[in-house]
Amino acid sequence: MEITGKVTVVTGAGSGIGAALTRRFIREGAQVVAADINEESVVSVATDTGAIPFRCDVSREQDVIDLIDFTEKNVGPITLFCSNAGIAIKGGVECTNDDWQRIWEINVMSHVYVSRALIPRMAARGGGAIMITASAAGLLSQIGSAPYSVTKHAAVGLAENLYITYGEQGIKIFALCPQAVRTAMAGEDSIAAVDGLMEPEELAEKVIEGLKKEEFLILPHPEVRTYMQRKAADYDRWLRGMQRLQARYLQGLPLKGGS
């Protein structure tokens, strides 16, 4: 799909991947509404790019509805909605209920809110697209963070269901599943950085390529497809390999690819 001249919304646009997507979409000629809970950050990105800023807490359904209403009333019908905002929480099942609930609301329910409010409108006018930023962790796993792995798996599952359910109504669904990207969420010592950190600007280029190809899975790191194939070919072997990788991570040893 082409986005030149099209109305596009990006959440989590105040920094990281969202800011890079906003800049790249503006260069592509899209009309972009940049949304983020951090109003100061998103205003700064908007000032630099020419996007329209909007403060939005994606964990609140009414905020998401307000963002969609604002965009369609003041800019035009949304062609592409990038449901990109997300957070990471370290730890396993011992994480507090509050932490589990918070990451669930942001990493999963925000996509539900977008879909619930926007898909009927898109379907009524013949089509549109939603891109959910999930993660390679949603296809593989995430050592060191059960909440992140679980919610990103859920995000991929939701994207798959939306594709199956609404594809014949003209709704295009994309699942963006990168490995580590150089943002505040991923540090150099992160297990996610096993194959190195990608710059947000490079990821944004990969997104443009993926949108044009109209592939459901947008994989900025091509090795993720290989890891998925290994996982599907021999699940138990893959799990044992991940156990070894985790052991190296916990011991502070150098990490090598092989998910």
d(Cα 216, Cα 208) in Å, to the nearest integer?
A: 13
Q: Which residues are catalytic?
A: 148
d(Cα 69, Cα 47) in Å, to the nearest integer?
A: 22
Dihedral (Cα; 188, 192, 198, 203), 10-degree rounding: -140
| Distance, first Cα to last Cα, the chain | 31
d(Cα 38, Cα 41) in Å, to the nearest integer?
A: 6
- State the DSSP code for 192: G
- Amino acid letter, residue 56: C
How would you classify residue 219: left for phi > 0, otherwise alpha for psi between -120 and 50, otherwise beta?
Answer: beta
d(Cα 101, Cα 216) in Å, to the nearest integer?
A: 28
8 Å CB contact between 92 and 86: no
- E-strand ranges in the chain read 7-11, 31-36, 52-55, 78-83, 128-133, 171-176, 217-218
Sole residue written with tokens 């990490």: 255
Sole residue written with tokens 């879909």: 115
